Amino acid sequence: MDILSTIVAYKKIGLQNSSRRGCFRDAISGKDRVSLIAEIKNASPSEGVICDDVDHCEIASVYEYSGASAISVVTEEKFFGGSLDMLREVRFATKLPILRKDFIIDQLQIYESKIAGADAILLIAAILDDEQLRCFREIAEGLGMDVLCEVHDACELERSLRSGARIIGINNRDLRTFSVDIETTLSLRVPNDVVLVSESGIRDAIDVRRLKGTVDAVLVGTAILKADKMADKVRDLSRDRPLLKVCGVQDMETARFCEDIGVDFIGFNFYKESPRYIPPAKAREIIKHLGDGIKTVAVFVPEEDFSIARDFDYIQIHGAKPVIRCGVLEFPLFDLQKGVSGKIDLDSDFPYPCFVAGGLTANDVRYLNVFAVDVARGVETNGKKDLKKIAKFLKNLSL
């Protein structure tokens, strides 16, 4: 082989290696767990300024080492405060696949995305006709990039699939009104062989867990960027385990400990006959010292006054009242009462995310594949919360 042929051969190898073809799709695909696409953006029309004078490279590093599967960079300048320079900076700071998010309406933007280091681009079905969707996707894929085709309704979904889209992003935000509804993702039917991403309105692990089994990935920006500790938020959104509620919390030490180790909910029991009863004033004082990362639940029996629940994130009604009396049901909880043997028979296609409770201990939860578990006496010693048992319970739940 002469020197010219050798140079050309090595150049072809270099181009093949640099294209990273399919790396974005590969990184986020798989409905057995929910991957996280963590977003970097400076502002948005709905939130205003989100990040002012920040180090985008540092944020990218936090995302990578905290468990994100890919990074989205919003480069639109006027309304989102972004730029292609942001994308270039992030490219040098991380090995994770990068999605360029912008309002792409011209072929030139596709080529500049590749040059800037993007592994994938966003195409918004609402602003492109059928020919543009097909043509732009083919150009991007020809350059070795993946395409995330964003839709909001069934019509846009059908058009995108017809254009050959292999990755669909369902935007839970209506770009015309900016209203958000996570049920948008759950209501649209996407073929199983298409990678599905849920975008906008995802706040915490509760939302992620609700989407598991339906989506391959979630795209989250604002909730991470506004968090007190971004690394903790990324880890919270990236983990793959049932949610945990520790019920019957009665003191600040236990509440703080639960928050620190990553418990998702803590419950305060306002039934006066219960050994885990806590006065409402004491419970309110505890929740004043908790952050947004842990949700609080007020637990009642049906005959009690629910007015004190306004300071809590959720209300739990324990007792045999007809479900029809409940105007909005977020999560059903199936509780096997103490002294009762047997099992709860849930069909595998049960359509609602539910909690399972009833005498659970750390040894019971290793193989549970449920949305969430609720534990009280299983993490107690002599009727008091045992911090070591709580930690072991959570550890086993994560195995």
Q: What positions carry a catalytic annotation? A: 39, 41, 101, 150, 171, 199-200
Phi, psi of 196 (to 5 degrees): -120, 130
CB pairs under 8 A, 24+ apart, for 278-284?
Answer: 278/249, 278/250, 280/308, 282/250, 284/311
Angle between helices 280-287 and 252-261 (to 10 degrees): 40
Q: One-letter amino acid identity for 254? A: T
- Quote the CA–CA distance of 261 and 391 in Å, as a whole number: 7
Q: 295-300 and 314-317 as β-strands: parallel, antiparallel, unpaired?
A: parallel
Unique residue bearing structure tokens 């409940």: 326
Q: How far apart are the first and last CA of the chain?
A: 55
Within 77-216, strands assigned E span 98-101, 120-124, 146-151, 167-171, 195-199
What is the amino acid identity at position 350?
F
The two structure tokens encoding residue 109: 């933007």
* 22 in Cβ contact with 146 (< 8 Å): yes
